[in-house]
Amino acid sequence: MIQRCFIVISLISLLAGCASHRTTVVLVPDPQGHVGKVAVQTQGGEQLLSESGQAVIVKNEKDAPAPATKFGDEKIRSMFGKALDAEPPVPEKFVLYFKIDSTELLPDSAMLITKIIGSIRQRKSFDISVNGHSDRSGEDAYNLDLSLKRAAYIKELIVKEGIDERYITTDSHGEGNPVVPTPDGVSEPLNRRVEVIVR
């Protein structure tokens, strides 16, 4: 189930002292195409935006926002194109899986290293996270250490491809952040993983 945020925007402080100021708020989808909801609120009232392209104009902090209208893509682009273009790209996430009780990658995951390097180079990334995980088939301390070794191994592979290690952070979650929750002692292949996030 997709969780969507609900944001209340109070324009009182933004409009204080600007009697002739107009503010336009437009609801657009996030990079994955999901549309949330936004409440635009002044001292005079509130308008709820819940559909892509819905817009509201606020003239001052005392009057209620104008009724919501619909903006087309062309109008949104003409008004907010520079701001939209300035948004950073969405982080790219890669999940690599390991053999049980090992730092050896499964064959399909080993092939992802080339894609990770390509993403880092294409983005000119200076912010790469490598997060190790384990299943619950061993002791907590052992799993924490194993997941750190997995993360360190992936970092080493990335560095060998010429990526500066200063841009890579590693972390170990052990068995504490499973994709598939299991009882203690259960081996779960989807939890034996490293997640690489390229920003």
Flag whether 52 is in a domain. Answer: yes
pLDDT greater than 70 at residue 177: yes
State the average pLDDT over residues 82-107: 93
Flag whether 163 is in a domain. Answer: yes
Together in a domain, 130 and 192: yes
Domain ranges, residue 162: 92-198
- Kindly tell me the sign of the dihedral angle through the C-alpha atoms of 119, 121, 124, 130: positive
Q: What is the pLDDT of residues 146-161, one digit of tens each?
A: 999 999 999 999 999 9
Together in a domain, 137 and 56: no
Which one of 70, 85, 100 terminates a domain?
Answer: 85
Together in a domain, 59 and 96: no
pLDDT band at 11 (very low <50, low <70, confident <90, very high): very low
pLDDT score, position 20: 54
Report the amino acid identity of residue 150: R
Q: Residue 142 sits in a domain of what CATH number?
A: 3.30.1330.60
Cα gap 50→108, rounded to integer Å: 41
Which one of 85, 120, 144 terminates a domain?
Answer: 85
Q: What percent of the chain has pLDDT over 90?
A: 62
pLDDT greater than 80 at residue 196: yes
Q: What is the 3-state secondary structure (H, E, C) of the chain?
A: CCCCCEEEEECHHHHCCCCCCCEEEECCCCCCCCCCEEEEEECCEEEEECCCCEEEEECCCCCCCCCCEECCHHHHHHHHHHHHHCCCCCCEEEEEEECCCCCCECHHHHCHHHHHHHHHHHHCCCCEEEEECCCCCCCHHHHHHHHHHHHHHHHHHHHHCCCCHHHEEEEECCCCCCCCCCCCCCCCHHHCEEEEEEC
Flag whether 103 is in a domain. Answer: yes
Q: What is the pLDDT of residues 18-33, one digit of tens each?
A: 445 688 888 888 877 8
What rounded mean pLDDT belongs to the chain?
Answer: 88
Together in a domain, 81 and 96: no
Together in a domain, 70 and 110: no
pLDDT score, position 21: 66
55 C-beta neighbours (distance < 10 Å), count: 20
Together in a domain, 20 and 114: no
State the average pLDDT over residues 110-116: 98
Together in a domain, 150 and 98: yes
Together in a domain, 137 and 154: yes
If one counts the domains in the chain, the total is 2
Together in a domain, 123 and 36: no
Together in a domain, 181 and 98: yes
Ranked by mean pLDDT, the top range of 6-20, 38-52, 138-152 is: 138-152
State the average pLDDT over residues 70-88: 87
Report the amino acid identity of residue 1: M
Which one of 85, 110, 145 terminates a domain?
Answer: 85
pLDDT score, position 13: 44
Together in a domain, 56 and 114: no
pLDDT greater than 80 at residue 4: no
Flag whether 99 is in a domain. Answer: yes
Which residues, in sequence order, are bridge partners of residue 25?
56
pLDDT score, position 1: 34
Token digits of residue 31: 């990079």
* pTM, to two decimals: 0.72
Together in a domain, 54 and 118: no
pLDDT score, position 85: 84
Flag whether 1 is in a domain. Answer: no
Identify whether the C-beta of residue 198 lies closer than 8 Å to the C-beta of residue 125. yes
